[in-house]
Amino acid sequence: MPVNNLPRSTPESQGISSTAVLSFLDDVSQKGLELHSFMLLRNGHVIAEGWWDPYRAELRHMMFSLSKSFTATAIGIAVEESLLNLNDRVIDFFPSKLPEVIDEHLKELRIKHLLTMSTGHAQDPTMEVVNHPAGDWVKAFLACPLEHEPGTVFVYNTAATFMLSAILQEVTGQKLIDYLKPRLFDPLGIVEPTWDESPAGISQGGTGLNIRTEDIAKFGQLFLDKGRWQGQQIISEAWVEAASSKQIDNFLNKDDPDSDWQQGYGYQMWMCRHNCYRGDGMFGQFCIVVPHKQAVIAITAGEERMHSIMQSIWDHLLPAFGEELPPDEENLDRLRNRLANLSLPSLTGTWDPEAAEGLNGQVYDLEPNELGITSVEFAGKSSEIQITSYSSGNESFGIRSSASGPVEQMSKEGLCHVKALWESPNTLSVLARFIETPFSRTLTFRFMEDEVEIEVRLKPSFGEKKVFTLKGRRGRNRNV
């Protein structure tokens, strides 16, 4: 279980009404936004917190680019320890990995340019870097051409944050996560964080951090308190001020000047409207700091409409912050009940024991498809069903559900929560949520004599396509 160092209080005692928080939750629900967790802090106190079932407080969640704000903080600490200077040249840390020709732009690339996403690249080189055939992301980054003078153009660049991690490891001999453990994670009570690594064993930096919702909230409170935590200066106040202030313009969409994605960029933090700032990660991982209201909002989600989440905050929470209010037990009870019973939409249908038994041993060979799945195999009995899919190279992926309800199981993608129900005797629906990530899959199997049609729905999705249709024909029954 996580260490909970943040004090709890009621919304009214900290100057916001329970009805305002309920209004925010109503808006999220009405918009159909998929939040996984929500924590609201005011004056250093947690005044509202909830997890949408099956997500839970003790589970770590994938942070995506919210990881970047933690990486930048490590750089700030290293600067305070005189291990680094923001004007240090990047090429000086990796003399054995430099290209044969070092142009003037690469010579002038500094740590501060990595921090502000102003490396000089015309477009994000991240995919080129992570797909380096030898897995040497540092060498791949240094080989990418810099079309602009560093410091002049903002281009969002996850590989640049990886380079900050690589530089820190080069200087300290420690991985980023190990460097931060005694300096940030332990003091804040952030327990058992994990950080994905490059093939060369370097913390990814720009993504890959996995922590709990309360850990996000603690990080935001640390910044709100100018780097102090329980009387100890964890990060210098000067670094917090610089990191959370606009260092460069980031006009990503000039047709939408009110976008929260073009109010300026600090050191791996975004400036927001309404004099706020944030760290954020893909699909709705948020650490939003509201300095003039002494508030922090921590959110995890599986939602592509990140702007809609923020708009709900601006519309319902931001205007409601004020002075201490008298107790409102009726609405406080409503809010507590609502937060304790949050859940996401699930499947409709019933468990069909005969249909489950009838699928036992059935195998369907699939036509070539975009997902690369070659066959699907079922093992079923009246009280349980297991579905195993096979891909090229005979790689398998199995999920299991039960008549008694959802089943949690470990998978190669982490902890998986699976529920299966029949819409009809010939239609089986399966919802698999990977509850330490933003991702879920809904599978609908439609059986037609010797054929099957499988609809695979991804939420959220990296690409525009979210629904795939696979077709197959029954193969040899495993029990024959």
Please state the φ and ψ torsions of residue 284, each to the nearest 5 degrees: 95, 35
Contact 13, 44 (CB under 8 A): no
pLDDT, tens digit, 9 for 90 and up, residues 94-122: 999 999 999 999 999 999 999 999 999 99
* Domains of the chain: residue spans and CATH: 12-340 (3.40.710.10), 353-474 (2.40.128.20)
CA distance 135 to 138: 9
Per-residue pLDDT of the chain (480 residues; tens, 9 = 90+): 445 689 999 999 999 999 999 999 999 999 999 999 999 999 999 999 999 999 999 999 999 999 999 999 999 999 999 999 999 999 999 999 999 999 999 999 999 999 999 999 999 999 999 999 999 999 999 999 999 999 999 999 999 999 999 999 999 999 999 999 999 999 999 999 999 999 999 999 999 999 999 999 999 999 999 999 999 999 999 999 999 999 999 976 566 778 999 999 999 999 999 999 999 999 999 999 999 999 999 999 999 999 999 999 999 999 999 999 999 999 999 999 999 999 999 999 999 999 999 999 999 999 999 999 999 999 999 999 999 999 987 778 899 999 999 999 998 889 999 999 999 999 999 999 999 999 999 999 999 999 999 999 999 999 888 999 999 999 865 444
pTM here is 0.96
Strands in 194-195's sheet, in edge-to-edge order, are: 61-62, 209-211, 194-195
CA proximity to 164, closest of 185, 182, 180, 148: 180
> What is the H or E stretch that residue 67 is in?
helix 67-80
List the beta bridge partners of residue 277. Answer: 271, 289
Show the CA angle centred on residue 62, arms to residues 135 and 263, nearest 5°: 95
Compute the 3-state secondary structure of the chain and give helix, strand, coil in percent, each to the nearest 5: 30, 30, 40
